[in-house]
Amino acid sequence: MNSEEIFTLYCGKHLALRKRGRWEFADRVDATGAVVVVGITAGNKLLLTEQFRVPCGKNVIELPAGIAGDEPGSEQESLATAAARELEEETGYEPALVREIMTGPSSAGLTSELITIFVATGLTRTGAGGGHAHENITVHEVDFARVDEWLFERIRAGTLIDPKVFAGIHFARNASGVWQ
């Protein structure tokens, strides 16, 4: 454990830039955690989202994801509740159950943020999804049997794919009992 003092270089509404020794890193200041949700419909379709990401300057295909405890009044929101909420907001599917799979760093050399991956089951369509109006999220329901082909077509077309998508596919294929 590094015992050097942490200094705040900048603190904004959502992020802080910190320094410990020679290392600079980002922290979230308005959240209790970040969640990513792997959801497969009863029709065996993987739910993916696509939206323009300002830091990348391009559209990015991702698993439904978001922040827990970032809204006023929801500071104590559990990660599982946030996962269910984000899945429904972004894709229009409400899960009967969300199961925590693992927690790990989103970008260990850049940020202290940890993301928790959930698998969502028993999905019921409740709306169109698409997130909040400013997010402009496109929902993709991709046949799980051809998801690799679909993703690599997008990569060849120049679309960025969040690597967590591939981790989610791995869990869907290999996590014993996850989809029961």
Three-class DSSP category at 162:
coil
Q: What is the pLDDT of residue 148?
A: 96
Q: Is residue 20 part of a domain?
A: yes
CATH number, residue 79: 3.90.79.10
Q: Give me 121's structure tokens.
A: 């089951």
Q: What is the mean pLDDT of residues 14-40?
A: 91
Q: Is the pLDDT of residue 178 over 60?
A: no
* Residue 74 shares a structural domain with residue 87: yes
* Residue 9 shares a structural domain with residue 55: no
Q: Specify burial of residue 40 (Cβ count, 10 A radius: 0-12, 13-18, 19+).
A: buried
Q: Give me 154's structure tokens.
A: 């997008």
Q: For residue 151, which of 138, 165, 137 has the smallest C-alpha distance?
A: 165
Q: Is residue 8 part of a domain?
A: yes
In the chain, count H helices and then E strands.
Answer: 3, 13
* Number of folded domains that form the chain: 2
- pTM, full prediction: 0.89
Expressed as residue numbers, the domain containing 5 is 1-30
Q: Is residue 179 part of a domain?
A: no
Tens of pLDDT, residue by residue over 55-80, are 999 999 999 999 998 777 777 889 99
User: Using N-to-C axis directions, what is the helix angle for 164-174 and 147-156, rounded to 10°?
Assistant: 170
Q: Is residue 126 part of a domain?
A: yes
